[in-house]
Amino acid sequence: MSDYRAFYPGRRVMITGGLGFIGSNLARHLVGLGADVLLVDSLIPDYGGNLFNIHGIESRVRVNVADVRQATTMNCLVRDREVIFNLAGQVSHIDSMRDPGTDLDINCRSQLTLLEACRRHNPGAKVVYASTRQIYGRPERLPVDETHLVRPTDINGINKAAGEQYHLVYNNVFGVRACSLRLTNVYGPRQLIRHNRQGFIGWFIRLALEGGEIEIFGDGSQLRDFVHVDDAADAFLRAGATDAVNGEALNVGGLEPIAHKDLVTLLIEVAGGGSMRLVPWPPEKKKIDIGSFFSDSTRFTTATGWRPAVSLRDGLSTTLEFYRAHRDQYIGGDEAPPVS
């Protein structure tokens, strides 16, 4: 797929969740390739949407502030789009356990709304869905490939798994070309770091940036793999440009796994500040923790040629530089945000 970037100049593209973390970074890549980019985002507080995420490219994208659950709006917005990157979602595992109804609404109902809009008004569109490694639950073996059972440990994982299956059914039954990318821990510039409910890596980066104490649950030996957001964006670009992955759910993972305590040691070193402390697991988080996890992305690499290119050290360094330059846009004057 050496020519996948040549697919996008002039291509009419829509990104749901386009003002969020991954969506806005993907938008920057698409703008650089000359695509016609429409960003759709509800800007729900605390979900990650941020108008500053498109700073510098505002004049080169169109923005529609809308909720993907609104059928009449989606029916209109999908009509002329050739590729739809479907990144809108509720990603907090803790929030999903506290408010399962909202998680169901956003991660299931909204997916059907979008897919029905495509089926009825633009059946020729290609849809790439952002799924998550969380749908696997606690792994039986490592690394985890796509043959592993899907058995989520929390409400968010269940709803994300359902959202993924909707896309595959619409591909297989209704002919709406769709695929799903099961992302591991994505990090990088423009991630929400105002609170700690949307994944630990962004919160760790904030604490290191501020010279704070980073608490690691348990003994810190649990393994994870990490994907820089530029590598994640490249995966979406490749998936959107080929029909080789239609009807597939494929892993998109990092270069190699690293233990939490080693990750934090590296982060503190790169940041030049911060400290680390091991603490007991909070019971409500221990119940939904999946232990060590890292994925096997061989199938996606074989199909598209994708490989992660950004090392963890380099990715953390550029991420910290970004937040140092734009701290007020992501934290503001909140010196003591609510922690949960």
Exposed / middle / buried, residue 338 (Cβ in 10 Å: 0-12, 13-18, 19+): exposed
What are the sequence ranges of the domains in the chain?
7-188+227-252, 200-223+256-293+311-329
Decide if domain 7-188+227-252 falls under CATH 1.20.1250.20.
no
Closest CA to 337 of 218, 161, 207, 147: 207
135-158 confidence digits (pLDDT tens): 999 999 999 999 999 999 999 999
290-339 confidence digits (pLDDT tens): 889 999 999 999 999 999 999 999 999 999 999 999 999 998 654 444 33
Using the CB atoms, write b or e for 82-115: b if 16+ within 10 Å: bbbbbbbbbbbbbbbbeeeeebbebbbebbbbbb
Exposed / middle / buried, residue 184 (Cβ in 10 Å: 0-12, 13-18, 19+): buried
Tell me the CATH architecture of domain 200-223+256-293+311-329: Alpha-Beta Complex (3.90)
pLDDT given at position 334: 47
333/95: higher pLDDT: 95
